[in-house]
A and B are shown apart, each in its own frame.
Chain A
Amino acid sequence: MPGSASIGRRLGWLSIFSSGTALLTASVALLFFQLQEVKSSQVRRLETIADLIAFNVAPAVDFNDAEAANVMISSLKTRPAVLSAGVIVNDRIFAVYHRPGATTPEVGGRQAPLTGYRFSNDALTVYRPVSSEGRRLGTFFIESDLHEYDQTWRRFALVTGLVAIPALLIALLLSQLPQRRISRPILNLASLAAAVSDRKDYSVRAPSVRSAAEIEQLFGTFNQMLTRIQGQHAEIEDARAMLERRVADRTTELEARTRQLEVQGRELASANRELESFSYSVSHDLRAPLRAIDGFSKALLSDYRTRTLDQRGIHFLERVRAGTQKMSQLIDDMLHLAQVTRRPLERTDADVTAVAKEVAAELARRHPDRTVRWVIEPNLRASADAHLLTIVFENLLGNAWKFTGGKEDALVQVGQTSIDGQPAFFVRDNGAGFNEAYAGKLFGAFQRLHNESEFEGTGIGLATVKRIVTRHGGLIAAQGVEGVGATFCFTLGGAS
């Protein structure tokens, strides 16, 4: 508790302050009344003296005996407090006395009241009439110093000082006792609370005390609070333990499931690989017998055409050969598709424009009889596997070339667009197009929307494209109108 005094010291100061204030107030009030009392008693005493002398001096005044009057007034010399006294007759001094050694009192031209008293700075003057038989003869005055008054209040201040300081100390000492009853339990409680807060030990309890009702109540409430905190703490601990158990259970469960999934994944992958290698080996193994059929049917045709085979036989053989060639093409495409799946993806900064132009040039070279207008946007680049990208364009441009076969002014465009905010490429032609109702079937293997007699093909090309795009993490979509043209858009995922 930096900066603030302890409760004991504060209570101490409080008691000093309150008892000091009370003492001071009482002293001041007492002094005030004491002074008033001294004043009035002095006035009374002086009035008594004045009455006596005024009575005694009356005949002397009456019979004009100033000497006798002086002698009478001079009897006041036994009273050292009397500064001066005298009789005034017809505004003149008739008889006068003043204390030896005292300065001559200011008597000349004194405006004397008939009776009463007057306080000046350092003197009290009492006036009394001098009369006989109801005749007013003059005025007697007596002037006393205020020594007693001064002494009273000096003595009072001294006594107050002598009494007040021990009284204050006694008050302080006496107040210590009940104060301890209050401050000590509070200090104990404060240290107990600090201990509880430091050690987080909610099982301790404040001992019962005998003190002020509020403090006893404070202790009771403190203990109740500790009990409640202890209960809540236990509840929280329980809840936490339960939660931990539950989390552990879930974690175990999840781990088991993850392991299971991993196993399943591995199984699935190996099954996939097995299937791929199976189809690859099937395709591969199918080639050899197929080549044999083709080769022998070719030899049969060339060697026996003019000898034993009639037109019908030749026709059958040619049908055999067409079938084997078709099958060979199918096997090639299937191997190609399998190869696309098996190859690992190697992304580079690919020059899309160059790839598209190269594929277009190859197509033009292979079919010099066709005239197709190519519009390929320059400076197209993408992060992609260049080899697979070439396969994508071989298929898409090959399709475009193929389906514009019946058009006089065939046009194939390659450019950049976007799908859902992702950069995308498109290949557009003004060829045969397709019925959009079947667009979902376009990318399945062996799916064809056109009659083979119209446009040759195996139906694997777009499946391959779709697989390549998917492997890149991209999307592919197709739009088409029968007889107007088709557009293929695709993204390549990753950073473009």
Chain B
Amino acid sequence: MARRVLGRGLMMLIAGLAMAPVCEAIDGAPEYRVKAAFVYKFATYIRWPPPVAGEVNTPFLIGVLGNDPFGSSLNDVVRGQTVRGRGIRIRALHRAEEALACDLVFVSSSEQRNLAQILALLRTAPVLTVGDMDQFAEQGGMVGLVTTPDNHIRFDINSAAIDRAGLRASSQLLHLARIVDEARGEGGHH
């Protein structure tokens, strides 16, 4: 881990100004713009189980559970985009049950108290859970967004949770992520 941080610093020296979009993440609103992009991109690197007949042409549904931190960012990001040929729709969710109808759910930090309950509900459902609260993945979430000390946005992946839900993450995605384990709360690279 220390090596990785060191490497990242070194990389910053090399890449320098090339990382301008990341630097914009320092301020609040731009940070969620990056996170919105990440949410969408996760969808492109995860494979869902084949849809049931009749659902083939249904839109890819992204739910935001709790207080929406994105503003218009998420809508901006997904406008005109598709996920494996499916159009994308954003829906604000107020109850955990509503998440079952979605393909991807962003669990807002406002739901921290209900997290265990929410995750238990979605435990085996083919719904990708993404969150940016602390220890989201360790607590049973699938993808947890992390802001590094140098203001980069990284992500943790709980591959056990993903497998349990019948989803499959691409190896390229796993390669970029920090893999965490629910039991010990620590993980390593694949």
Contact = CB atoms under 8 A, between A and B. Distances in A.
Partners in one complex: yes
Interface of A: 55-56, 58-60, 62-68, 70-71, 89, 92-96, 132-133
Given A64-B19, A64-B152, A67-B7, 9 more contacts: A58-B172, A60-B175, A67-B11, A68-B176, A70-B7, A92-B18, A94-B15, A94-B18, A95-B15
Contacts of B15: 66, 93-95
Contacts of B34: 64
Given A67-B4, A132-B44, A60 B176 contact: yes
B45 to A, nearest CB: 6
A56 B176 CA distance: 11
Interface string B145-163: 0000000111100000000
Interface string B1-26: 00010011001101101110110000
Nearest to B38: A63
B14 A96 contact: yes
B19 A133 contact: no
B173 interface: yes
B41 interface: yes
B7 A71 contact: yes
Nearest to B42: A63
Contacts of B153: 64
Given A58-B172, A71-B7, A66 B18 contact: yes
Nearest to A70: B11
Interface residues of B, number: 29
Closest 8 CB pairs of A and B: A59-B172, A67-B11, A92-B18, A133-B44, A67-B8, A66-B15, A66-B11, A65-B176
A92 to B, nearest CB: 4
B162 to A, nearest CB: 16
Given A62-B41, A63-B155, A132-B44, A56 B11 contact: no
Given A94-B15, A96-B14, A68 B175 contact: yes
B173 A59 contact: yes
B15 to A, nearest CB: 5
Contacts of B175: 59-60, 68
B117 interface: no
Nearest to A95: B15
Contacts of B83: 133
B18 A63 contact: no
A58 B171 CA distance: 12
A173 to B, nearest CB: 64
A71 B175 CA distance: 11
A247 B141 CA distance: 146
B10 to A, nearest CB: 8
A132 B34 CA distance: 17
A110 B83 CA distance: 33
A70 B44 contact: no
From A63, A94, A96, name the one whose CB has the most chain B CB atoms within 10 angstroms.
A63
A401 B7 CA distance: 172
B170 interface: yes
Interface in B23-69: 34, 38, 41, 44-45
B170 A59 contact: yes
B21 A64 contact: yes
B41 A63 contact: yes
A29 B125 CA distance: 66
Given A56-B172, A59-B45, A66 B38 contact: no
A60 B41 CA distance: 11
B154 A65 contact: yes
A64 B11 contact: no
Nearest to B11: A67
22 contacts: A58-B172, A59-B45, A59-B170, A59-B175, A60-B172, A60-B176, A62-B44, A63-B38, A63-B155, A64-B19, A64-B21, A66-B11, A66-B12, A66-B14, A66-B18, A67-B7, A67-B11, A71-B7, A89-B18, A93-B15, A94-B15, A95-B15
B175 to A, nearest CB: 7
A330 to B, nearest CB: 170
B81 to A, nearest CB: 8
Interface string B124-154: 0000000000000000000000000000111
Nearest to B17: A92
From A66, A71, A92, name the one whose CB has the most chain B CB atoms within 10 angstroms.
A66
From A60, A66, A67, A95, name the one whose CB has the most chain B CB atoms within 10 angstroms.
A67
A65 B17 CA distance: 14
A66 B19 contact: yes
B170 to A, nearest CB: 7
A62 B17 CA distance: 17
Contacts of A59: 41, 45, 170, 172-173, 175-176
A65 B14 CA distance: 13
From B8, B154, B170, B172, name the one whose CB has the most chain A CB atoms within 10 angstroms.
B172
Contacts of A68: 175-176
A205 to B, nearest CB: 95
B154 to A, nearest CB: 7
A406 to B, nearest CB: 169
A58 B81 CA distance: 17
From B12, B21, B173, B175, name the one whose CB has the most chain A CB atoms within 10 angstroms.
B175
B18 A132 contact: no
Contacts of B176: 59-60, 63, 65, 68
Contacts of A94: 15, 18
Contacts of A92: 17-18
Contacts of B152: 64
Contacts of A96: 14
A95 B13 CA distance: 11
A370 B73 CA distance: 186
